[in-house]
Amino acid sequence: MGIPERQVSSTASSRIYDTLRQDLINGRFTAGEKVAISALKERYAIGLSPLREALNRLAAHGLLIQENQRGFRVPSLERSELDDIAEMRRELEGMALERAIRLGDAEWESELLAAAHRLKRADMAPDKVEEWEHFHACFHRTLVAPCGSAWLLRFIAQLHDQFDRYRRMAPEAPEVRRVLDAQHGELVELALERDIKSARALMDDHIQRSYQVALQGVLSSA
Amino acid sequence: MGIPERQVSSTASSRIYDTLRQDLINGRFTAGEKVAISALKERYAIGLSPLREALNRLAAHGLLIQENQRGFRVPSLERSELDDIAEMRRELEGMALERAIRLGDAEWESELLAAAHRLKRADMAPDKVEEWEHFHACFHRTLVAPCGSAWLLRFIAQLHDQFDRYRRMAPEAPEVRRVLDAQHGELVELALERDIKSARALMDDHIQRSYQVALQGVLSSA
DNA sequence: TAATTAATAATAATCGATTGTTTCGGCTAG
DNA sequence: CTAGCCGAAACAATCGATTATTATTAATTA
């Protein structure tokens, strides 16, 4: 009753894919280590076939490295790669934000306000981090959603996954965190005012600061 | 010999992946149709497991659409999607070309000249199209190769796959083809002269013309 | 001793069979 | 007629076992 929901059915493949994706982003695997497939099989209590299908997908997304006849490895964390990812985020999210501000309608404004509010209210306490991360990802996705390009959004999502691998590895930086949180609100304001130039500049600064935080993770573990 | 050879071993998975990728790009599957897995199994004489792993990878790359419990479908060809892909190509390849011209060294210049020459000499006769396509892809890859961003190159490669699905569906246009071929040579000249502005403009025009050609494929089949 | 090869263990990849879900055609009730 | 409900057939997903390849260790030789 109620909603005639589609998408009720999932598969073991896609469930383990989601789980592994989260665990990879959250750094629950040591960077650079080889993935022991049969160990995963036990750890997640899943069959080999769906597991291997998920690993193949993750490799295609760049969250794993696949080498013929020798399985999968977790990509190592390299400063040069973080630089690349951050730089691409600046370029692509800047582009997307500009377009979103041009194309976004009233409905977008509402959803953006809602997403920002959810994020602001979310707690960052250790046991609530997952929830905060969810709202944070949602906010950034909503911000650029009406950019008009499915491919641009796809690339940005991929870059976020990569970036978060680094960010979550980094030590906390409360004072930067406060600035970043404030910027979320400011981004909404500028978006509503349709101030493209300032919004892009702020987004650039936002990513740059996040980058600085994430960088500590690479530097400390190197 | 200097280089220790790599990639000697392949797997059934990656072989069928390469084959299917080519066949999808070449339009050997009807756009929008459901993929009959067991039919592919026969057609390519391959087991279910490697086949499914390949399909999962292709879906992650955007060359197939995966729906839980109902297998895989070949994406349909939509004008709006072609517009998106072409626009993204303009943005990303323009960006990459600019950086490549800034960063490319003498070795790059040599490889670029070589790639352009191979392409020029390649025959476009029906039975040699595969070879021409190979050299064409190589040329464009070489052109932007030293841009310094692995992620940018990855995105561009993905867009090329998508774009080519449309282009190869389109009817031949010999007079546009001549212009496009000439532009390859001009792109090399401008790159060697390090004329960033003109090179970007020409690349933009090149993609725009290719887009016009590819568009005929969508319009005629619609 | 160091290098090379042979034997063995570990594990990645693949196969064949089974299970579970969706689709489709006919049937029935309203 | 038409909407809804079986049951059968088709097909996607998954499992358990097997094969092929790589990694490790021991043995052998220069």
pLDDT tens-digit map of B40-81? 999 999 999 999 999 999 999 999 999 999 999 999 999 999
Q: Find chain B residues with C-beta within 8 A of A11's C-beta.
A: 68-69
* pLDDT above 90 for B123: no
Cβ B68–A155 below 8 Å, yes or no? no
The answer to whether strand D lies under 7 Å from the CB of residue B1 is: no
pLDDT tens digits, residue range A180-197?
Answer: 999 999 999 999 999 999
| pLDDT score, position B221 | 74
Q: How confident is the model at residue A222 (pLDDT cuts 50, 70, 90)?
A: low
Contact B67, A6 (CB under 8 A): no
Between the two ends of chain B, the Cα-to-Cα distance in Å is 53
Residue A14: which nucleotide is closest by CA–C1'?
D13
Please identify residues in chain B, positions 134-163, with a C-beta within 7 angstroms of any atom of strand C: none
| pLDDT score, position B94 | 98
* pLDDT above 70 for B1: no
| pLDDT score, position A2 | 32
* pLDDT above 60 for A76: yes
Domain boundaries, chain A: 12-73, 79-221
Helix axes A129-144, A174-192, angle to 10 degrees: 30
Question: A12-73 adopts what CATH topology?
Answer: Arc Repressor Mutant, subunit A (1.10.10)
Average pLDDT over residues A114-128: 93
* pLDDT above 50 for B194: yes
| pLDDT score, position B219 | 85
The answer to whether strand D lies under 7 Å from the CB of residue B70 is: yes
| pLDDT score, position A55 | 98
- What percentage of residues in chain B have a pLDDT greater than 90? 91
Q: Find chain B residues with C-beta within 8 A of A151's C-beta.
A: 84-85, 88, 159, 162
Average pLDDT over residues B188-213: 98
Token pair, residue B169, equals 């569906």
B128 DSSP assignment? G
Average pLDDT over residues B113-133: 94
The answer to whether strand C lies under 7 Å from the CB of residue A70 is: yes
Q: How confident is the model at residue B222 (pLDDT cuts 50, 70, 90)?
A: low
Between the two ends of chain A, the Cα-to-Cα distance in Å is 55
| CA–CA dist A20, A15 (Å, integer) | 9
* pLDDT above 60 for B3: no
Min CA distance, A100 vs chain B (Å)?
Answer: 15
Cβ B57–A61 below 8 Å, yes or no? no
- Residue A198, chain B, CB below 8 Å: the answer is no
Cα A114 to Cα A28, A108, A121, A156, B198: the distances in Å are 31, 10, 11, 21, 45
- Residue A30, chain B, CB below 8 Å: the answer is no
| pLDDT score, position B6 | 36
Q: How confident is the model at residue A126 (pLDDT cuts 50, 70, 90)?
A: confident
Cβ A84–B159 below 8 Å, yes or no? no
A147-156, B7-16, B95-104 — which is least confidently predicted?
B7-16
Cβ A57–B60 below 8 Å, yes or no? yes
Residue B55: which nucleotide is closest by CA–C1'?
D12
Average pLDDT over residues A146-150: 98
The answer to whether strand D lies under 7 Å from the CB of residue A44 is: no
Cβ B84–A13 below 8 Å, yes or no? no
What value does the mean pLDDT of chain A take?
Answer: 94
Identify the CATH number of the domain defined by range B79-221.
1.20.120.530
* pLDDT above 90 for A118: yes
Measuring CA to CA, which residue among B220, B202, B222, B214 is closest to residue B93?
B202
Measuring CA to CA, which residue among B161, B167, B209, B165 is closest to residue B184?
B209
- What percentage of residues in chain A have a pLDDT greater than 70? 95
Instruction: Identify the sign of the CA torsion A60, B211, B96, B188.
Output: positive
Average pLDDT over residues A169-176: 95
| pLDDT score, position B8 | 52
Q: How confident is the model at residue A123 (pLDDT cuts 50, 70, 90)?
A: confident
| CA–CA dist B37, A150 (Å, integer) | 27
What value does the mean pLDDT of chain B take?
Answer: 94
Cβ A11–B152 below 8 Å, yes or no? no
| pLDDT score, position A219 | 86
Better pLDDT: A124 or A107: A107
* pLDDT above 60 for A5: no
Q: How confident is the model at residue B5 (pLDDT cuts 50, 70, 90)?
A: very low
* pLDDT above 50 for B4: no
* pLDDT above 90 for A162: yes
